[in-house]
Amino acid sequence: MDLLLQLLLEAILLGTFYAFLSLGFSLTWGVLNILNLAYGSLVVLGSYLAYSLFNAVGVDPIVSLPISFAVGFVLGLLLQVSFVNRVIKLEPFMVLILTFGLDILISHTLNYFFKADIRSIDVPYAEGSFIVGNLIVSEVKLLVFLLSLILTALLFLFLRFTWTGRAIRAVALDVEGARLVGISPERVFALTMGIGTGVAFLSGNLYGILQGFTPFDGGLLTVKAFLVSVLGGLGRVESALFGGLLLGTMEIFVSFYAGESWKLFASLVLMILVLIFRPRGLMGGKYYGEA
């Protein structure tokens, strides 16, 4: 029983991080209708940014969160304006090629500067763990869980209750309808890409706190973001939370009972089953517009 509770705790802590990780990916998917294959590499770029700020300048990895978001936001905006807007009018396939190329560019550039060694950001105030009842709680996992939860809630409130958030959801639901009320979809696209990349950088910052990373972690992180989006259903912040917890649970239990190497295999099997039987995701929401 204690073991089961311990595994569930781990699943919740990890799953909430996965939920936040996937939000930037599913937001750009839902609003711009593009699959950003460079997403995971953008996350890793965020990890190296937080790492560099911490090691070179001594910026605390929690203090660096707003910086991560700002840098990611500007980068996303630039990417959208300079590349994606030019390509998005062509076939969707071209966007895949573009982001795939970007993925390679980012990971190899990081490899050039940082080498393939595993790096990590060691938070001095969250190195140990404590015991509640019979459960062992790792401080660093708890920290990342709490930050993920707060950031997810902020994004939810932003999309739900601000004018800009409403405009983003409006464009996701009906581009022509948005034009008819005076919203410029092109601006919303750029803004969404900015926010999506900002979230990628924030996730990267958290990822760096949570575990060691290398320049080539991006591919796997993209797969995880994709999995969460598909499992939960593209659409709402709540769906991502559901998908994230599902993936987290899956990974923790499969790793424990079958072994670490079965983790990805099991996730992919689950994804294929969902795509076959519930292609709109288990929660079945539609894009970011729905209430």
Partner 1 sequence: MSGKVLDVSDLRAGYGDVEILRSINLHVGDGEIVAIFGSNGSGKSTFLKVVAGLLRPWGGSIRFMDEHIEELSPEERVRRGIALAAEGRKLFLGMSVEENLLLGGWIRRDRVKENLERVYEYFPQLREKRRALAGDLSGGQQQMLSIGRALMSEPKLLMIDELSLGLAPAVVDRLAQIILSIREREGISILVVEQEVSLALEISDRAYVFDLGTIVDEGSSEELLRRDSIRKTYLSLM
Residues that bind partner 1 in the complex, under the rule CB under 8 A: 163, 166-167, 169-170, 173-174, 176-184, 286-287, 289-291
Question: In the complex, what is the shortest distance from the CB of residue 161 to partner 1, in angstroms, rounded to a whole number?
Answer: 10
Strands, E assignment, 53-134: 129-132
Q: In whole angstroms, how close is the CB of 2 to partner 1 at the nearest point? A: 43
- 279: helix, strand or coil: coil
- The helix/strand/coil state of 119 is strand
207 token code pair? 């990822």
- Please identify, using beta-carbon distances, which residue of 148 and 239 lies nearer to partner 1: 239
Q: Which residue's CB is nearer to partner 1, number 166 or number 280?
A: 166
DSSP structure class, residue 56: I
CB of 137 to partner 1, least distance (A): 39
Comparison of 240 and 250: residue with beta carbon closer to partner 1: 240
Question: Hey, is 275 helix, strand or coil?
Answer: helix
Distance of CA 287 to the CA centre of its chain: 16
Residues 71 and 194: their CA atoms lie apart, in Å, by: 9
Q: Cβ of residue 166: shortest distance to partner 1, in angstroms? A: 6
Q: Considering beta carbons, is residue 165 or 219 the nearer one to partner 1?
A: 165
Angle formed at CA 35 by CA 105 and CA 276, multiple of 5 degrees: 130
Round to whole Å and give the CA distance between 170 and 175: 7
d(CA 165, CA 250): 32
CB of 286 to partner 1, least distance (A): 6
Whichever of 194 and 289 has its CB closer to partner 1, that residue is 289
